[in-house]
Structure 1
Amino acid sequence: MPEQELAKEPVAHGWPDQTWTLARIKTLIGRRLHKSMTLSAIAQMHRHGFSHQVPTRRAVERNEEAITGRRLHITGVTAHPTRDRAVQQARNLTVDLGIRIETLRFLLRDRDGKYSEAFDAVFEAEEMEILNSAPQAPRMNAHCERIIGSIRREALDHVLIMNEAPARHVLAAYERHYNEHRPHQARNQLPPDAHEQPAAAHGLSTSKALRTRILGGLINEYRYAA
């Protein structure tokens, strides 16, 4: 659909005045883009600076790409997890995901007792289906098990963590590295947050490589100098 049509005033789409409301935006997205969005997701778009214009198809597609890009979200750190805390972290995650949660259909989780009905209800409100893995069957959630292994091998196994504060620092630094720099074979060597092909290889005799030290040099990121 041409972007010009999506940028028209509400009157052009059959409403009696020029005011864009969340309900009207929801209706138009469903009618024109064949996408289902909740009012809370649309409101989240506005809180993050989106205009009252209906998002274009390409904008919706970009959000879908972000979901399918193996992006890592670490919701929190605590030595004493509880049911109430798990519910709050679920709410925080839905807010962080914003419009991107609209493309998610399932939540796969284990059978830990801290995942209560209230926890599931947070995601069911976003029209997601809850899937419970079988007892003692980690391979049923292989993606989760794999990223836990990566975090341990590349970061946690090499540092001494005494309390929650350094744990949060290490995990936050790794999350940024994983999403913004670490290449992924499934994405043609692009990190999850990248949507363009990496720069072509340069000869080191003509280009200078810069290094960014993460976690005191435990992880190093390299890029070509501008």
Structure 2
Amino acid sequence: MTDVMSDYRRLVRLTTSQEVAEYVRGNFRGRVPGQYLAAVVDIASTGSYPVNREPGMDRATRLGLAWRLLGLGEAEQALRPEWVAARCLRLARELAEEPAAGGVPSEFTVDAAVRRGLRCLGLGRPRALEIARQRRRSYAAALPARPSGEQLARATAVPGDRDLLRITVLLDELAWFERRVGDPAAAAELRAWLAIRDDLGLGDEIAELLAERIRTTPPPSAAQGGS
């Protein structure tokens, strides 16, 4: 098994995407594991690791490596596009709040990260709203019968619900950028999505039914007659 921290110390010294890709691929037979890439990206993008206080571990160098690994993860299909987009958005936010002294990958600028996040939404707004309506109807139909957790999950599964989850997670990341995007087209698209954000959830009525379900469901020990 490869030593992630030792690899990180070697990888951060490499200066091109090709060098990084060759080193990483050389450590594995077959496909590069996404967990490995995600672990090294986390080290590179988080200043609190003790290794990042060593000489030569400046922020721009570390973030350069983070992007090369994210790009490799996309090329190898080892990292989901929405995961890459979310990480770019988080780094763009950190850099907007605490700018680095130059040399940071353009992918971590606000506009580039927001454009990437919007591309990863993957559905148009009308389709996302229709999935959300179907999901609310499925909960409204299933909850009165007081199904078990497993039964409820099956009864409320609707086509496209994973797409809807991806969208809502990304919108949570994108919301902070609403008034910070310079690209007019991206800004308008983001505003349009955020305007329907509340309509993509379960809504107050279903939320209350779920809260009532929690309040009135006895704990497992009580339900089973435990001592």
Q: Do they superpose with TM above 0.5?
A: no
TM-score, normalising length from structure 1? 0.25
| Greater strand fraction, Structure 1 or Structure 2 | 1
Bigger relative CO (Cα 8 Å, ≥ 6 apart): 2
TM-score, normalising length from structure 2? 0.25
| Greater helix fraction, Structure 1 or Structure 2 | 2
